[in-house]
Amino acid sequence: MTLLVEGRVGVMVPAQWVVKRVTSGPGSARVQIVSPDDATTALHVTQSPLASQQTHEQMAQSLRGALGQEPDGVFVDFKPSDSRAGRVVATYREIRKDRAIAWFVWIDRSLRIAVGCQSAPVRDEAMREVCDRAIESAHSVF
């Protein structure tokens, strides 16, 4: 694992995986970290500075509103309060034509951090350790 710092967020990712910046297409601008062995296996990391201090509940409500603006069936299984890798997170799944991503979202200081875990359905467990490490390590660097 290695520490990747992008903008205001630091996160531990597999050292051999390829880092790509995605600034166009569907979804938020993000860093995508892709397995060199399987292009369907990837981490996605987004960050959004918050204008003012927000509670988890306020962040989840805002996130739910934003997801509701998208076409039906793209964002599913929203849970405003869940837990993963020792964090309280809001969770949802993003369903696209060529992929599905499980998203985990929380606040660290004045930054909303989201980690997305993408894998083929049969490789879900193989991605769990990488995903959990990213979620537990992601943090605001400012």
| Residue 1 pLDDT level (bands cut at 50, 70, 90) | very high
Q: Which two tokens stand for residue 78?
A: 């929203």
Distance CA 60, CA 137 (A): 21
Residue 81's domain comprises 2-140
CATH number at residue 24: 3.40.1000.10
pLDDT tens-place string over residues 59-83: 999 999 999 999 999 999 999 999 9
What's the domain count of the chain?
A: 1
- Mean pLDDT in residue range 34-59: 93
For the record, the structure tokens of 92 come out as: 């949802």
pLDDT for position 97? 79
Residues 116 and 42: their CA atoms lie apart, in Å, by 8
